[in-house]
Amino acid sequence: MSTAPVGLPAGLPAWTTRPADETAVKTLVEALGCPQAIAHVLVSRGISDTAAAQTFFTPSLDDLLDPMLMLGMEIAVARIQHAVRSSEPILIYGDYDVDGTTATVLLKTAIERIAPKETPAIVTYHVPHRIREGYGMQNGVLGQAAASGIRLVISVDTGIRAFAAAEEAKALGMDLIVTDHHLPDGVIGIPEAVAVLNPAQQNCPYPFKHLCGAAVAFKLAHALLLAATETEEQRTKLKRSLIPSFLKLVAIATIADSVPLEGENRVIAALGLKELRNPVQPGLRALMQVAQIPINRPPTATEVGFRLAPRINAAGRMDIAGDVVELFLTKDPARANDLAEKLDRLNDERRATEAKALEAIEAQLAPLRDSLGDYLAECIILDDPEWHRGVLGILASRVVDRTGRPAIVMTHEDGHAHGSGRSIAGFHLLDAISAVHEPLTSSDAPLFSRFGGHAHAVGFSMPSDHMPLLRERMQRYGATRLTGEITAPPLECDAELLLSDLTQSFYDWLMRCEPFGIGNREPVFLTRNLTLSEPVRFIKEKHICLQLQSPSLQSSGTTNRISALGWSRTIDWPARCAEIGLDTGSQLDVVYRLKAKTNPQFPGLELELVALRPA
């Protein structure tokens, strides 16, 4: 398989095929009996020996890492055990997104399960209001907790940079356990707490560093439940029943939080998705039903990411995220249905709010394009006081999709700008805003009031009058880092195939590579020299459907045709067809994802177009 880039017209990226060691590919084909292209995909992604490939295809509970490997775990477990034995009230301090709300549910459930029936654990939770409180732990909430008798606070999906909150908790006589996955401050380090659980912190021996916040909370829950077992029978029940049950919510959070679906994250996602088939808990079942996800089979990562997660996130974006925690804790089917329907309505409201803001964003983006019809190699920064704070992250993602550039989207309220950023591969956004935050001279003030995040996503607030400084510093920072290799990377194909390779057996092997996401992207394939056998069919004037066939097989009397669909999310497919003059008989090279047709009356496979060009 060739790995050399193939040129395209100006403004379009070259196409390449990911390289893979052919000896390792042959070994996997012989050992697994899989198609060569599937083995090529695995080897090109670093899975080159048979044992690793078998783990990839058949992840099991035994592949979950020991939670006690995490720095601070032993101390955290002991402190929580003491609180439960002493009937101390415990406060779980969560966050308002999928990661934070599911983490709250997981940890509250685990702590309550380890308490004796005669003396139930006293576990309350606080999920902040996105608009009124913002991200992170607030001193006022801690003060109220202390006044109510709380002596132990456990943060989930937040807290790694909560230095002031940690000091406040200590001053109020409360112990703090931080569980988080966001990157610690590179200078100050971690807040003062009884224990800090975060595989990203320095000196943590936990082998896998990319867990989401709910997965870190799950590790603490797992350690607590394991410590509470006394017999082999109890440990077996924990492994076979309770842990798989917990993995349902951890999988949802792992997929929703866009952490890499590799290593332990892949195990969590794969096993959790299987457990989501026919869920028993009323809230989860009701939410899957309003999201129109069938409950007679495991959902796909795409269904979780685009149907389930947005409805969970809608609560925190548009209203009160505590509704999500109640939804996943309730045992009342009627209450579960009410809450699920509320999240569905909030998601509709979120979509309408987002659509209105996108119109304004398109107007702001138009003048940013230069005379060549491309965007400058810099971080795009947009703001509007009318934009809803709850959808800023989504809007930033849309800007990245449209421009191929890192993006920061902000709104203003009472003299303060609140922003959310999303990035592209190769540009570490947290490093960027950390760098521009620092004063250039002794007379300058720090840029942000608060900020945090990771390589791909950040959030922050700052005085509105710092906007010119932000633009200036980000432009200067990006000038030497947003290179052509980052802003216009080649289109990387996973393998080159013939139409005759696209069999149902091949598709079945491809589905065994799921779940797909960051770190395990859905494979894209290249097929050359196809003939357009019918005129282009346009769908709703913005999408296209092509009928393609292989001329070599056609000439031998063998029919080998397939449909290819182009959905105009980030590519204007009708314009692309007009640009290259597509007509019946045109010869094409296409890059695509292989899909199963969704209409049961017309079974088979089809292509989802990623790129096309004249052959």
What are the tens digits of pLDDT across the range 359-381? Answer: 999 999 988 877 667 788 899 99
According to the model, what pLDDT value does residue 290 have?
A: 97
Q: Is the pLDDT of residue 5 over 50?
A: no
Grade residue 553 by pLDDT with cuts at 50, 70 and 90. low
According to the model, what pLDDT value does residue 554 have?
A: 52
Each residue of 202-234: pLDDT tens digit?
999 999 999 999 999 999 999 999 999 999 999
CATH number of the 367-486 domain: 3.10.310.30
How far, in Å, CA of 409 to CA of 381, rounded?
6
Angle at alpha carbon of residue 433, lines to 429 and 438, rounded to 5°: 155
Alpha helices in 126-242 (DSSP H): 139-147, 163-171, 213-227, 232-237
Alpha helices in 156-260 (DSSP H): 163-171, 213-227, 232-237, 243-256
Q: Is the pLDDT of residue 1 over 50?
A: no
According to the model, what pLDDT value does residue 371 have?
A: 61
CA-closest candidate to residue 544, choices 606, 614, 615, 601: 606
Domain with CATH 3.90.1640.30 in the chain: 67-277
According to the model, what pLDDT value does residue 429 have?
A: 95
Question: What is the residue-wise DSSP string for 315-362?
Answer: HHHHS-THHHHHHHH---HHHHHHHHHHHHHHHHHHHHHHHHHHHHHH
Q: Which strand ranges, in their side-by-side order, compose the sheet holding 90-93?
A: 123-126, 90-93, 152-156, 175-179, 195-197
CATH superfamily of 524-614: Nucleic acid-binding proteins (2.40.50.140)
Q: Is the pLDDT of residue 601 over 90?
A: no
Beta bridge partners of 565: 545, 608
According to the model, what pLDDT value does residue 183 have?
A: 87
CATH number of the 67-277 domain: 3.90.1640.30
Q: Give the up-direction half-sphere exposure of residue 562: CA atoms within 13 A in the CB hemisphere.
A: 28
Q: Is the pLDDT of residue 557 over 60?
A: no
- Write down the mean pLDDT value for the chain: 92
Q: Is the pLDDT of residue 25 over 50?
A: yes
Each residue of 168-212: pLDDT tens digit?
999 999 999 999 999 898 778 999 999 999 999 999 999 999 999
Give CA separation, 70 vs 202, 205, 217, 220, 222, in Å: 11, 6, 12, 9, 12
Asked if omega into 515 is within 30° of 0 (cis), the reply is yes
Q: Mean per-residue pLDDT for 369-396? A: 88
Each residue of 102-128: pLDDT tens digit?
999 999 999 999 999 999 999 999 999
Q: Is the pLDDT of residue 559 over 60?
A: no
% of the chain residues with pLDDT over 70? 96
Each residue of 525-538: pLDDT tens digit?
999 999 999 999 99
Domain with CATH 3.10.310.30 in the chain: 367-486
Write the Ramachandran bin of 496: left for phi over 0, alpha for psi from -120 to 50, otherwise beta: beta
Q: Mean per-residue pLDDT for 388-410? A: 93
How far, in Å, CA of 221 to CA of 227, rounded?
10
